[in-house]
Amino acid sequence: MIVNLYHRYSAREGKDDFLSLKDLNEFLKCQAPTFLAACDRDKPGYIKMLFRDTDMNQDRKLSFEEFTKILAMLTDDAHRISHRDDRCGPDQD
């Protein structure tokens, strides 16, 4: 399921198996709008900063392994929601 979701955005139009900044932007806006709406993540530049911070080898594209770091953030956010915890605490992005 997660792999299929990744491939929905990474393997379009004959592209390689990586996410561009545009792909990540589309993924987050379509698949994780509540994540973006919290904690000022909807401010201009947030997705670009997230992309840059997650692109560990600085090749300007995200591998599946790098993408899983963003999935961990989304999962943590969902877990906090389920417990009605503060989504914007000091240990957040």
What residue has token string 């915890």?
A: 85
- Say how far residue 52 (Cα) sits from the centre of its chain: 11
Residue 93 has pLDDT above 60, yes or no: no
| Residue 67 near residue 6, CB atoms below 8 Å | yes
54-85 pLDDT, tens per residue?
A: 999 999 999 999 999 988 988 888 888 888 87
| Residue 50 near residue 56, CB atoms below 8 Å | no
36-54 pLDDT, tens per residue?
A: 888 878 888 889 999 999 9
> Does 2-8+16-82 carry CATH code 1.10.540.10?
no
> Quick one: pLDDT at residue 66?
96
The mean pLDDT of 7-11, rounded to a whole number, is 88
| Residue 71 near residue 29, CB atoms below 8 Å | no
